[in-house]
């Protein structure tokens, strides 16, 4: 899926859409969000850990988290840029 199709799907599914970077210096310790999130990696990589599962996402990969999911976020050495939706 390309970025335009991903953003169109987010809008269709009533997500608010934003774009953002995260640097390697900003690892996020264990936390949750009070919203559902879906994102597509545009540059770099991000590793999410939920429970006993750890998954790294790189350019073109799409991931999602349900509201309330406990997780950590760690980005690769070049940071990560993504387009994301939340609802």
pLDDT in tens, 75-87: 988 899 999 999 9
First-to-last C-alpha distance (Å) of the chain: 21
Q: Which fold has domain 3-86?
A: Jelly Rolls (2.60.120)
Taking the C-alpha atoms of residue 43 and residue 60, their distance in angstroms, rounded to an integer, is 8
Q: Any idea where the domains of the chain sit in the sequence?
A: 3-86
Torsion over CA of 6, 85, 46 and 76, rounded to 10 degrees? 100
pLDDT in tens, 24-69: 877 788 999 999 999 999 999 999 999 999 999 999 999 999 999 9
Residue 73, both tokens = 């976020």
Average pLDDT of span 13-22: 96
Residue pair 71/52 in contact (Cβ under 8 Å)? The answer is no
């Amino acid at each position: 899926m390309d970025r335009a199709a991903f953003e169109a799907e987010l809008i269709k599914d009533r997500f608010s859409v934003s774009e953002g970077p995260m640097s390697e210096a900003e690892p996020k310790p264990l936390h949750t969000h009070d919203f559902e999130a879906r994102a597509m990696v545009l540059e770099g990589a991000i590793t999410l850990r939920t429970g006993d599962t750890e998954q790294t996402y790189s350019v073109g990969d799409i991931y999602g988290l349900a509201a309330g999911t406990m997780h950590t976020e760690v980005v690769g050495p070049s940071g990560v840029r993504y387009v994301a939706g939340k609802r």
